[in-house]
């Protein structure tokens, strides 16, 4: 896959992540664009594995959660971007179990989209 195609997929993932946040909570942050792009590329690699789809979805949710944690630790100091401290089973207020579970169907959809865009013959 060429670099321009990867850049395009990164931008698509970033825009999708920001779009989900805008729909869910009405606001987002520039860091979420980068996190979404990274997640989409990582999920694209994951969907190429021979793992069962259920395992891929669970690992995909783990990938998104890990990227959110790293992004939060880097840019969410003072909890100005998001704050999960009041959510059940949170870790440092940066990630929480309810949202990690939400990433399961999101990862399924993202991997299906990536698979569609990654079909041979597409430019």
Q: Is residue 9 in some structural domain?
A: yes
Quick one: pLDDT at residue 2? 87
Is position 95 within any domain?
yes
* pTM, full prediction: 0.92
> Which pLDDT belongs to residue 121?
57
Assigned domain for 123 exists: no
Residue 26 included in any domain: yes
Would you state the pLDDT for residue 81? 92
pLDDT at 48: 94
Question: What range does the domain containing 17 cover?
Answer: 3-117
Number of domains in the chain: 1
Please tell me the predicted confidence (pLDDT) of residue 118: 84
pLDDT for 120: 64
Tell me, yes or no, whether 88 lies in a domain.
yes
Mean pLDDT per block of 10 residues along the chain (123 residues) reads 91 97 94 97 96 97 98 94 96 97 96 89 54
Q: What is the pLDDT of residue 122?
A: 55
pLDDT recorded at residue 119 = 75
- Which DSSP string corresponds to the chain? --HHHHHHHHHHHHHHHHHHHHHHHS---HHHHHHHHHHHHHHHHHHTS-S-HHHHHHHHHHHHHHHHHHHHHHH-GGGSS---TTSTTEETTTEEHHHHHHHHHHHHHHHHHHHHHT-TT--
């Amino acid at each position: 896959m060429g670099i321009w195609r990867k850049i395009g997929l990164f931008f698509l993932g970033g825009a999708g992540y920001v779009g989900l946040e805008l729909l869910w909570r009405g606001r987002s942050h520039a860091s979420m664009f980068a996190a979404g792009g990274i997640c989409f590329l990582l999920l694209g690699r994951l969907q190429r594995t021979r793992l069962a789809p259920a395992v891929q979805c669970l690992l995909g949710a783990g990938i998104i959660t890990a990227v959110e944690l790293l992004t939060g630790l880097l840019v969410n100091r003072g909890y100005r971007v998001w704050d999960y401290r009041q959510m059940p089973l949170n870790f440092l207020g940066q990630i929480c179990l309810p949202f990690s579970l939400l990433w399961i169907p999101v990862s399924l959809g993202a991997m299906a989209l990536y698979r569609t865009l990654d079909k041979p013959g597409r430019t």
